[in-house]
Structure 1
Amino acid sequence: MTLLVSFSRAEQRLMELGISEPEEIDLEAIAWDEGVRVQYKDISGCEARLVGVGNRAIVTIRSSTEDRRKRFSLAHELGHWNHHRGRSFECRADDMVERYSSKSTEEREADSYAADLLMPAYMFRPLARTIKRPTFDSVKELADRFQTSLTATAIRLVDANAWPLLLVCHAAGGRVWFKRSRDVPDRWFPQKELDSDSLAFDRLFGAKERTRAQKIGAEAWFDKKGAEHFDIVEDAIRISNGQVLSLLWIENDEMLAEHSRY
């Protein structure tokens, strides 16, 4: 039986260029090959700007942002160039937030292209399967390899479905967004408010920024009958904008079973 594997437009582009390792993903070289000149300036009002005419374009990236943010901005604008050629874009920081959120179709397409360009599945998934435990320490190792942000890399790890994971973002006002791996049933829906027993509660409202991942009762995260019978592994880390990111690993097979008694 032949297994058909489909590749995204960005992944196909990388393969056409013979790129097989994360360190070989040179975005400026890729942009030049596509007729896009990249410049860095102290622009205001937006994070990045794309202006294209015909088969040529100029991408301007805000010079004051940190390097990994610049990489995402450039990959995002290349997404616009490949999907929306003939149009110009000015993308604010909130347009290019590297998280699962509600945004326009054009911005989602540019985000998706950027993720595939920066962390192509044919490179990312094999590396994701080699990690011993899905914690933020492992996420950081992957982020350093691909030169991507912690949040974007954690999202990619969840999407890779190498582990049954949930990624949840909270602010003081409650849950902001979350994602789950394909193998995690929909019935495990994280609560809006953080439980005081969770590590994330300490990260958000306490002084500690980081502690080791540990087992915690699932009822601290899921308001569902039967959750009290299970433990999950939680890791939590403080990120920007007064938010905390939580990585939840479901180890128990019964929690993942399609026909569970809970």
Structure 2
Amino acid sequence: MDVDLSRLSSAERLLWGYGVTDSSHIDLDAIANDNGAEVKYRPLGGCEARLVARGENAIISVNSASNDGRQRFSLAHELAHWICDRKTGSFLCAKEDIGPQNAIARSVEADANSYASQLILPTYLVEPWMKDRKVNLDVASLLAKDFNASLTAAAIKLVKQATVPAFVVCHNQTRLAWHQRSPACSPEFYVTSELHQDTDAFRMAFGGVMGMSKSKRESASRWISGRDVFRLEVNSQSIKLPDATVLTIITLFK
């Protein structure tokens, strides 16, 4: 596998050092153990994961009540703290601290989320995987399955690596919870703060509709604002998440 090592993030360099050349090689429990951290899965009240360090060893506790994708990201998040922040003490990370959507603003927790995202979905493996694939939730689901990641993490990675104008957005009934745009997306466009009543996402948020919608072509003005947006259309695809928010990937075209 031909990889430019100078382009790798610190998390990717860690994986490369372990000989990871396929998504199936990413064993976070083994990496943690090799770095002196014992991983335990058990019920945790009030947090998703906990790191307790003592000298050169640590115990990482992961909430056993969470789903597999959440557990895996929580472990990667605490592993990031152990590898990058071990001199700053122990960490007790709540649900709102851990998540790929919280890796934008610079902070210790955001940096840990960014590191965790690269551990689970390393760019040097995701880029070739994405070749000639579309940017929608169907493909994000395949990415999540192949890399044993959550759908949210996979959708964010897909959009961040996309070469076409695209957004991944998450709404609740009252507002836009968070969003991420692709590098190819013009900064002139902004995601609307509220769901448009004619979108599948609106029907999911306010009704009992579950499952994933089909990719749908519709007016871009239902999703974004900006100059000449009325001339544009998007493909949109949505899914209602277990926390009742609605995740959508939209791609733009003229």
Name the TM-score, length of structure 2 as normaliser.
Answer: 0.92
Change (3 A) 1:248 1:5: farther
1:100–1:179 contact (8 Å) kept in structure 2:
no
Task: Give the structure 1 partner of residue 117 of structure 2.
Answer: 115
Give the C-alpha shift of residue 224 in structure 1: 3.1
- The number of aligned residues is 249
1:75-117, Cα deviation, whole Å (9 max, x unpaired): 0001001111131001111111331477771101110110010
The runs of 5 or more residues in structure 1 that have no matched partner are 253-262
- 2: distance between equivalents of 1:143 and 1:159? 15
Task: Give runs of ≥4 in structure 1 deviating > 4 Å.
Answer: 101-104
2:220–2:229 contact (8 Å) kept in structure 1:
yes
- 2: distance between equivalents of 1:45 and 1:208? 30
2:188–2:227 contact (8 Å) kept in structure 1:
no
Higher radius of gyration, 1 or 2 = 1
Change (3 A) 1:103 1:88: farther
2:163–2:183 contact (8 Å) kept in structure 1:
no
1:83–1:109 contact (8 Å) kept in structure 2:
no
- 2: distance between equivalents of 1:100 and 1:163? 23
SS of residue matched to 2:44 = coil
Task: Give the structure 1 partner of residue 170 of structure 2.
Answer: 169
- Tell me the C-alpha RMSD between the 2 structures: 1.8
The runs of 5 or more residues in structure 2 that have no matched partner are none
Change (3 A) 1:36 1:4: closer
Task: Give the structure 2 partner of residue 77 of structure 1.
Answer: 78
SS of residue matched to 1:49 = strand
- 1: distance between equivalents of 2:26 and 2:14? 11
1:53 and 2:49 correspond: no
Give the C-alpha shift of residue 24 in structure 1: 0.7
- 1: distance between equivalents of 2:118 and 2:5? 18
Question: Structure 2 matches for 1:212-223, cutoff 5 A?
Answer: 212-223=214-225
- 1: distance between equivalents of 2:102 and 2:236? 20
- Code of the aligned partner of 1:234: S
1:143–1:150 contact (8 Å) kept in structure 2:
yes
2:50–2:61 contact (8 Å) kept in structure 1:
yes
Change (3 A) 1:183 1:225: closer
SS of residue matched to 1:94 = coil
- Code of the aligned partner of 1:165: A
Give the C-alpha shift of residue 237 in structure 1: 1.0
- 2: distance between equivalents of 1:111 and 1:217? 34
Question: Structure 2 matches for 1:24-173, cutoff 5 A?
Answer: 24-86=25-87, 87-100=89-102, 105-131=107-133, 133-173=134-174
Give the C-alpha shift of residue 234 in structure 1: 0.8
Aligned counterpart for 1:248 among listed residues 240, 247, 250: 250
The percent identity for this pair of structures is 34
